[in-house]
Structure formats: C-alpha cells, structure tokens
Structure 1
Amino acid sequence: MTDQTQPLRIDIVSDVVCPWCIVGYRQLAQALEDTGIAHEIHWHPFELNPEMPPEGQNLGEHITEKYGSTREQSLESRARLTELGKDLGFAFNFADDMRMHNTFNTHQLIHWAETQGRSHDLEQALFAAHFTDRRDLSDIAVLVDVAESIGLDAAEARAVLEDQRYAQEVRQKESFWVQQGISGVPAVVFDRKHLVTGAQGTENYTSILKQLTQMRG
C-alpha cells in the first residue's frame, strides 16, 4: 500500500511541439485542482521528430507527410485544438506558415532548468512560445530569451546549449522511456506504475485521480 501522506508522483513524458501534450496537461491540472490531491509533477523528454533538420518543416506539410492528413483534416484538427485550448486557458495561434522544429535543444534546456527547480515553468513557457507566439524553438537565441523570461540566467542557458553538456543525459532519458514502451505523447505515469496515454479530458483525469486515491488509502 502506498503511503498516502506522500504527494502523488506524476511523470509526464512530453514534447513541447505536441499540441495534445499541453491540452492533456491543462486537463490534468484542472482535475488536480478540482480534487485537491497533493502531487508532484516530473517532466520527461520525448522527441516527436528526432530526425527533423535544423531548418524545420512547414507544419501543414509535416502533418500531411507524417500522418497522411488532408488539408481539410488538418484545419479541422487545428480548429478543435484551438477551442479546447480556449476552454483550458491556453491560446493556440495556428498559421499556415508555422513550422515544426527539432526539439533536442529544448529538452536539454528543460533538463538544465530542472537543476534550478524550474523545469515545469520552462516547459509551460516553451509550449506558449511555440503555439501562442509561433517562435522558432530551434533558434538558440529564442530558447535563451524564453529561459530569461522566467527568470533563468541567460548566459548560463546559452552556455548549456552551446556546449551541449546535457546531450548524453537527455539521450539516455529519451531512450529509457522508449524502452518502457512509450511511442507517443503525452504519456502520464501515476505513482510510477499506472500509465495513461493521450489527452484524456478533465472528467476522465478526475475519475483516474479518485480511483488512485482509493487505491492508495
């Protein structure tokens, strides 16, 4: 039996260019607020497009190429996400010239922010930078600016990205989750043993949290 006096550990495997990751997180956050369950969240890296070149790719072209979606399907998905985001207090500002970027540097920056106790704040800021402000997350200057905007040291952030000091550790983290069978995100693990994949919706997350509370009791 789990010690219920301990906060519920929640591990979230995510990529900052995954729209369903921020939707799923916001839904989970609402469920956590509604249930009042003590918790601690840990973010973990996953790259949707590890082979993406530095210049990135047009988002529409990428979605068609990777998932076979028509333009109409893609626009419908964007509209749905925009509405979901609005309900959750997150602004998606999709545009035809949006690009999908390689996110390996973002994960290194998040790893460094974790050593400062700020990984959660940086993760949220990067979601907004990509989806709300349509900034280029493959640009080191942009990443440094986002880090500085939440109070992290700009010079240190730049140094972390330029010397790639956390590259090996991030690769190891990514490999660990792939070896656990994670092939898509968001993937949420409760109490280190209960895996829930995809954005489940606030009601479903609330139900899951209540079940976990009973199991821990």
Structure 2
Amino acid sequence: MIKTIRIDLISDIVCPWCIIGYKNLEHALSKLSDSLKADIYWHPFELNPMMKSEGENLREHIAEKYGTSLEASIAARQTISELGQDLGFEFKFSDDMRIYNTRKAHQLLLWAQSESLQLDLEMALFQAYFTQRQDISNTTVLLNIAESLGLERNVCELVLQDESWAEAVSSTEYQWLEAGINAVPAMIIDKKHLISGAQPNEILVEALIEIARL
C-alpha cells in the first residue's frame, strides 16, 4: 500500500536554492515511489516584495543585500550551476542577469492550484527565469508562459489585474512569517514537520521515511 503525505513548499521563483531543493525532493520521492507519494502545494515567499518594476542587476543586488564579494558570487554561481546540472536543471547565469519582482508570478501560481497546473507553472517559471533569463515580472511574459501550459490567457490576465489576488499573496506570506518561516526553501510535511533549506536527496529520503513511518 502506498502512503500519501502532504508537502507544503514555501519558495520564491528567483531563489536558486528553491528549485534545487525541489529537485532534490523530486529525486527523494522517486526513490520511495513504491511506498510513498506526495501531494505538493506551493506557497509564496517574496524575497524582495518591494523590488521596483525594472528589477536590479542580480550580482549588484546580492552584493548590496548580503555583502557578497565578486569572488564569492562567482563561486556560488559555479556551485549552483553544478548542482543544477546534477539534478537535471540548467542555470544560465550572466553578468547582466537581473532579479525581478515576483508578486504577479505568485498571483498566477496561487490561482493555478485550482486548475491543477500549479506545479507545471512553477517549473515553467523557474526555467523562464534561470534558464531563459526572461523578465518574470512582465505581464506579457507571464501570460505567454501560462498560455503555453493550457491556461486561458484572458482569465490569467484578470488574475494579474485583480488586486484581491495580490492581497492573497501578501496575506499568505504574512501567515508564514507569523509561523516562523523567514527563509526559503522551507518544506512542511503533513502540516507539522519542518525541513529548512535545500537538503540533499539522501537526507530527504531519511526524513521522509521517518516522518511517514514507512
């Protein structure tokens, strides 16, 4: 008998460790597929909710926010790229790469859950940003991505224009902050077990076995 667990994933699209964390989870679940499956729900956590519409140079942003040196930035990008390659995800960093506001993207992601396409949209957005270097704050870019997955463009446009969806993103983020989540990725299993950070799939396998009591 296969046991089903719930996994709530709190993340941001411009966070490289979030896609690495998910890919590690994906690999862990595949190793346990004979005994375990997961219903995954994605939740918003904007790393830069006040980011201006034109975005900022990614390297300059990281240097200003975290005090990261150029050498450390180069090393981090190399590490992330290698981890991505091992997990089947391609990072294409460049010196002129920008970081963008993700509020509208999260509005679409919240709504896409009701259409059973949240995971597909999440993966498409990660790829659009990190692999294709697209501006995922741009409405046309978001609508093109959503439409390519079979979502109705005119409905998606309404979601992006509807202030109540923006408020839903904000209130959801506040709830997670109130719950003590202040960094991503964060995974909450069956609403009570927290796994923080992009853990290797071996550690996730052990954690899932223990939590699910397989």
TM-score (norm: length of structure 2):
0.96
1:58 corresponding residue in structure 2 = 57
Aligned length: 212
Displacement of 1:5 in angstroms is 6.7
Q: Deviations over 1:11-68 (max 9, x none)?
A: 0000011000000000011000001112100100000001111111000000100111
Q: Which amino acid aligns with 2:106?
A: H
1:40 corresponding residue in structure 2 = 39
Q: Deviations over 1:118-170 (max 9, x none)?
A: 11111111000000000001110000011111111112112211233412222
| Aligned partner of residue 108 in structure 2, secondary structure | helix
1:152 aligns with 2:147: no
2:163 corresponding residue in structure 1 = 164
Structure 2 Cα separation of the partners of residues 160 and 212 of structure 1: 37
1:9 aligns with 2:20: no
1:127 corresponding residue in structure 2 = 126
1:175 corresponding residue in structure 2 = 174
Unaligned runs of 5+ in 1: none
Q: Deviations over 1:164-205 (max 9, x none)?
A: 341222211111101001111000001100111100111110
Structure 1 Cα separation of the partners of residues 28 and 176 of structure 2: 25
Q: Percent identity?
A: 47
Unaligned runs of 5+ in 2: none
1:117 corresponding residue in structure 2 = 116
In structure 1, which of residues 2, 14, 18 is the aligned counterpart of residue 15 of structure 2? 18
Matches within 5 A, 1:75-86: 75-86=74-85
| Aligned partner of residue 93 in structure 1, secondary structure | coil
